[in-house]
Structure 1
Amino acid sequence: MTHTTLSTAPRFNLQESFPLIRLLHPKQYAWAVGLSLAVGLTVSWIIVAAGIAPLWAATALTLVILLPAGFFKWRDDYRRYGRTLMLLSILLTAQGLHTIEHLIQWTQYHILYWTMRQSNGLLSPANAEWVHFVWNWLVLIVVLLLLSGGIRNVWMWLLLVVAAFHAVEHTYTFIRYQLILRELTAMDILNVTAQGLPGIVGRDGWLARSEWTRGTWICSIPGLTTAVRLDVHFWWNAIEMTLLGIAGHIALRRRMQSLQLD
């Protein structure tokens, strides 16, 4: 008698195909994340609707409420996978939230037609030169730690280059901000800020104004010397997030067998 074996096609497993999802999944802390988010959004809606606090304060409160669940999730990542993948998880989460903030700013400006000053996202006080300066240098430091921890592929090296240039641009902008702030203070002008200055790229940036680059082929690159500051930093972040996601995906796929992510 001949037996016919019916073979079934392998089932698609999302977390095996995309190991970043497995890394970012809160696992046993999913209930804590969900509860914290629900509480944060509810409290935020109440205090904003009642006029107790502005939107940025409510947003900050929600993030603070979520932080304990994140702490325990990342502590678990450290115990399961080690320092490097814990840092990857933290950076992906932080940059993911940062991407959402930039996307909201982009929507406010391009879709809702708010002014540049109004398009501050959900955390308007964070749209300050010193915050951008500190944030981008921290990102660069974490990228270096990921490289030293063994996540080395062409996408991570590209991310290092982009993150370094981004940090340099915000250093340039931060220095300009401090210089102009001193000039305003010297003239006894104290009620005007110098936030939102152009950096190296974009409209009125260094490349657009420099005698070395003005009128050259560099200025013919779309957006490089014409994009507004909001768009410039939206694309900086989008490029960094894309490179980080690809680099992390490749690194985790290579390590899946030995790390046994679950």
Structure 2
Amino acid sequence: MSEFKQTFNSSLGKKLIMALTGLFLCTFLIVHLGGNLLLFKNDNGFGFNVYANFLTHFPPIEVIAYLLYLSILVHAIYALVLTIKNRKARPVRYAEVSSANASWSSKNMGLLGSILFLFIVIHMSDFWYNYKYSGKVGFIEYKTNLATDETTAVPYIPTSPTFEKSVTTENNFEVVRVKDLHARVASSFSNLIYVIFYVIAMGTLSFHLKHGFQSAFRTLGWVHRKYTPIVSFIGTWLFAVIIPLGFAAMPVYYYFTR
């Protein structure tokens, strides 16, 4: 077996892969939240629907998306492998005294990760799969008066089964026709059970990121007395507070305002 394979088949190698995939997923969360903030615009979903169409039809973004899906699977599988290996190596739990300094999230990363993986499966089947493959997401037509900048929205039924998007100008009106993922979002977030599950998942994400972000830097050996406090600050406030709160606010906002 080559030295490269030996490295990445070792426990340290698996932790390195988890750290790298985890940091990649953290980067994705920032971008994903930025795009999803368009849901708060009072524009009948125009900005969000155009954004969703761009994400699913721009080839470089699609390549990154499939790398993202692969990273999620690798991160989850390696976490499971390491958890099982650690439990086999330590069949008897350490005394409670030895783990007194460990945070609750660090001691329950397996549970937190399992809840998040379940959430990702449900979330992607509800939005990504239905948007791309099920035919359950309809179309909408936005007509913007170029003189007054006023936009109206009506349902649209395409004449071709392969239709995805069109942008035309008709009699001083810009007409945009796209899939209406916004309607799917509004429908899902009208379900109280789904909203509660979503908020719980974001609370889980907060604990998972608080430990995982800082742990990734330690695994990679990027520890320095000057920069570690900065990593801790970013991990706590950006990834454990701002990002989960931003995502959790969406279903709550839609449930109480739509």
TM-score, with structure 2 as normaliser: 0.41
Q: Which has the higher strand share?
A: 2
For CA contacts below 8 A with separation 6 or more, give which structure has more relative contact order: 2
